[in-house]
Chains A and B, each alone.
Chain A
């Protein structure tokens, strides 16, 4: 009995002490509640694992702080199964299990974030420092989230209540590689039943440094001044205000947020064509010259939750506006004369969303009946046509049941019926070119097209808590609506210099997935193994063809059968209650089973990788203080599974280290952290980086400092 008590206390001590800034492990970490973690810290992990049959990881803002990088997805990219397609050093796009772009959804307070996700060089427009907590669901989640939730969902929750009457947090951060300097402040509080939260973040960064002094692309040799990638500087400004009411039976929150980013693109290439310009990019590392883009994302979200006995009704309403502009020096191309404006592309999207969900608890069942609808209006501008103007609508109704056979065994199943509608407007070139009949005319790039689809999907799963194990299994079907560019493209994509041809007969993409989750926890040892199998009967693929159209290689949209499978693995051992050793890794296999590229993989397939890290907690006088050192060794395998126009990427190894101190001073909680990424300044290429296409290596050594004060 005594030994059980001792080991229980030891595991409490270790989990409690480490819990503050753990790696993503399904354990809820909340800096404010450090002293409230109970003996059965394991139980909170189980609670999360039992919540959904899909693979789920929950992290909070202290994880982001501890791993912070230039953008949200870069900060999360250490989590197995989660990757970032980076665009320079300050922007990135999410990828879950190799699926990104429009094959995964990012939601904020239940509302799908709608930007221009289809674009390679469009980053996710969310301020990482205002994020309260995130749930990452890996696998098909279309039941509740509808279209696009195939690879998974990144569910950002900014719905938590302030913990105190007044709380204030200020952060200062800097990164050496691209001379980032920034700050984020948070103010929140309670006034009776009302609450408010205010956030503001500002960051500015310069051209980033790579470990080489020149880049060789084709056989063109580009010298880099002081190893800096010219014109990759940028800045980001965000602000949000939330007000709400929290009563026993009603909780309501209204959030208004805006995220603005300006980001330069490497000046010596435009897409994949080398460009030289007369602009003196080297006169300053921090100025942003052509080509660059700006994005502004405005969100107004209203979340409401009403309790009716044991049941609850949730209603969410939202409006978003995403305005993205891409500027570059105009040049003539083919029959297009030199335009007289610097605005190459402009996208203006208004999205209106509404969710409704009614949850009923009856006997051992939790029924969920819901509906959601989203309407988008997309306007375009600029001289470089890629996407027509369009409107789209998606609506769905779903029913889900969770049957609690016991508290330890839950069976869930659900179905969803969705309706999708797209209306695409006509577009003609603004310049004349020779047509097939020999006349010169304004070419029709996109004709009117109206499409209507229905989709029926299902999801079923099981969660089983048995002793030290949580075993989950899930099968499901997800879908996504074809994009207007996939349906109706018919023109030159000047960003990447190819001719893209849509296919108006595309069907909504469907994906079937089966996955398994094995989670084991016993005192000092935790382990997790999550294999999955995924099949698309009709994956929409932009296929490089051997023919030329208007002088550029033709890429056309086709639907092929695709098979993917893989697994993520995480394990950690807490030794001597001070040292936590973690081993994590992931593997992904993709293959096209039909069509022109049968036997090939999919673009941007992440190679398999593993990471071994050790975190040591130094003994501290005060229980609430922490001093820790983490060293991580990351290995990435070569990626030889490529499709045109990619190049194979060599494997690489990097070392990162973090040293941090958290302490309490009177009423202040102070955290300081210094971290080094790419400690040995290795030259390596990231297969999923946008600049990989032009042979730009990843940033060199970077030292980051973060200091935060909370009271």
Chain B
């Protein structure tokens, strides 16, 4: 019995060491940047026309310091999805006739955020070229913070006359 007691107390001690030893350090940034979606555009399901403009309004926030952001617009003619919009099961939008992928629009642009910001509002316009294939597109936003954490947001948009 004495042997068992020794063993159990060693186990208890070890568990205590385990639990207390794994406490976290304080001065590291362990939080990802965030999207503040107040008045954010484009909204999920917005419609645009070739030759028109996409007005982008998005607030980014971070607990420490923001990094940079990127906007990517690509076609969703094959029905793939990276929707991050809602918490419910997201049915991808009713498909219009599949656009011609060779004429599909690809937009990808990196934007810098001035250093030292904990909050930043992006207000910009993106010109939609004429003559691109029409159909469902994805509008993706990516943002980093100074530490290298990244957050992603994607909405579905439609471009057609």
Chain A residues packing against B (C-beta within 8 Å): 216, 218-221, 223, 273-278, 331-335, 337-338, 524-525, 543-553, 569, 571, 573, 575, 581, 583, 585, 587, 589, 596-597, 599-600, 607-610, 612, 635, 637-642, 644-645, 648
Contacts and interface: CB of A to CB of B under 8 A. Distances in A.
The 9 closest A-B pairs by CB, nearest first: A546-B67, A544-B148, A551-B108, A548-B110, A644-B148, A218-B84, A640-B24, A546-B144, A548-B70
Interface string B69-98: 110101100111111111111101000000
B65 to A, nearest CB: 9
A75 to B, nearest CB: 24
A339 B11 CA distance: 57
B142 A548 contact: yes
Contact of B148 (A220, A546, A575): A546
Nearest to B6: A573
A71 B107 CA distance: 44
B25 A599 contact: yes
B150 A219 contact: no
Contacts of B92: 276
B15 interface: yes
A635 B83 CA distance: 36
Contacts of A546: 67-68, 144-148
Given A276-B81, A608-B22, 6 more contacts: A220-B90, A332-B104, A524-B3, A585-B18, A608-B18, A640-B22
A583 B67 CA distance: 47
A600 B17 CA distance: 21
A553 B15 contact: no
Contacts of B19: 637
Given A544-B148, A548-B68, A637 B82 contact: no
B10 interface: yes
A316 to B, nearest CB: 41
B147 A219 contact: no
A335 B72 CA distance: 11
B87 A581 contact: no
A637 B22 CA distance: 7
Interface string B43-85: 0000000000000000000000001111010110011111111
Contacts of A552: 70, 142
Nearest to A546: B67
Nearest to B107: A551
A338 B100 CA distance: 12
Contacts of A599: 25, 27-28
B7 interface: yes
29 contacts: A219-B86, A273-B82, A277-B80, A331-B78, A332-B74, A332-B101, A332-B106, A333-B74, A545-B148, A546-B144, A548-B70, A550-B108, A551-B70, A551-B109, A552-B142, A569-B14, A573-B4, A573-B7, A581-B7, A583-B7, A597-B147, A607-B22, A610-B11, A612-B11, A635-B15, A638-B22, A641-B24, A642-B30, A644-B148
B148 A597 contact: yes
Given A333-B74, A553-B142, A583 B14 contact: yes
Interface residues of B, number: 55
A551 B110 contact: yes
Contacts of B82: 220, 273-275
Contacts of A635: 15, 18
Contact of B150 (A573, A638, A644): A644
A609 B19 CA distance: 9
A338 B133 CA distance: 15
A600 B30 CA distance: 9
A220 B92 CA distance: 12
Given A218-B84, A548-B68, A548-B70, A335 B150 contact: no
Contacts of A221: 87-90
A599 B148 CA distance: 14
Given A276-B80, A546-B145, A548-B70, A610 B152 contact: no
Nearest to A591: B25
Interface string B4-36: 100100110011011101111101101000000
Nearest to B66: A546
Contacts of A544: 144, 148-150
A216 B90 CA distance: 12
Given A331-B80, A608-B22, A587 B88 contact: no
A583 B10 contact: yes
Contact of B144 (A335, A553, A573, A648): A553
Contacts of A607: 22
Contacts of B4: 573, 575, 581
A551 B28 contact: no
Contacts of A637: 18-19, 22
Contact of B18 (A220, A331, A610): A610
Among B4, B24, B109, the most chain A Cβ lie within 10 Å of the Cβ of: B24
Contacts of A218: 84, 152
A569 B7 CA distance: 13
A638 B72 CA distance: 36
A335 B107 CA distance: 9
Contacts of B109: 551
A120 to B, nearest CB: 17
Q: Which of A332, A548, A600 has the most CB of B within 10 A?
A: A548
B16 to A, nearest CB: 11
A639 B18 CA distance: 11
Contacts of B69: 548
A640 to B, nearest CB: 4
Interface string B114-155: 000000000000000000000000000010111111101000
A488 B152 CA distance: 28
Contacts of B68: 546-548
Given A331-B80, A548-B70, A644 B149 contact: yes
Contacts of A216: 87
Contacts of A585: 14, 18
Nearest to A498: B150
A540 to B, nearest CB: 16
A552 B109 CA distance: 10
Contact of B87 (A219, A589, A638): A219
Contacts of A583: 7, 10-11, 14
Contacts of B102: 337
A543 B145 CA distance: 13
A632 to B, nearest CB: 13
Nearest to A550: B108
A589 B70 CA distance: 35
A101 B82 CA distance: 30
Contacts of B14: 569, 583, 585, 610
Contacts of B10: 571, 583
Contacts of A645: 148-150
Nearest to A636: B18
A603 to B, nearest CB: 12
A564 B108 CA distance: 40
A435 to B, nearest CB: 14
A161 to B, nearest CB: 40
